[in-house]
Amino acid sequence: MQDAYYARYVDVGPERWLVWHGHGLLGPQRFACGSHRGELTAYLRNHYGTLGGQVWKMGPYPRPLPAPGNAPTARISRMGGSGFAM
């Protein structure tokens, strides 16, 4: 089964972090803070632009929304954990 965020940019957090979920041929997962988002997209387009059109997607990018009852903290809570997992 493929990752739900395979080959996608995701906009994360209040500081506007950008996460690239490449995996496989499209490289590893990469992160950039709000002030370096342009550098990340330029790097990815330069290195992986010929392998897939997903790299060329323009914003706005989706934000991650965990499914109700499927978030890691919800699972840990049901198991009686503290909410911190390694």
Report mean pLDDT in 10-residue bins for the chain, 86 residues.
76 90 89 93 94 88 69 48 36
Residue 80's pLDDT is what? 46
Residue 69's pLDDT is what? 58
Instruction: Check: CB of residue 40 under 8 Å from CB of residue 20.
Output: yes
Distance CA 37, CA 7 (A): 16
Domain ranges, ordered by start, for the chain? 8-78
- Amino acid symbol at 13: G
Residue 2's pLDDT is what? 56
Rg (CA), the chain: 15
* Residue whose structure tokens are 């490449």: 22
Q: Residue 40's closest CA among 50, 51, 52, 29?
A: 29
Residue 81's pLDDT is what? 41
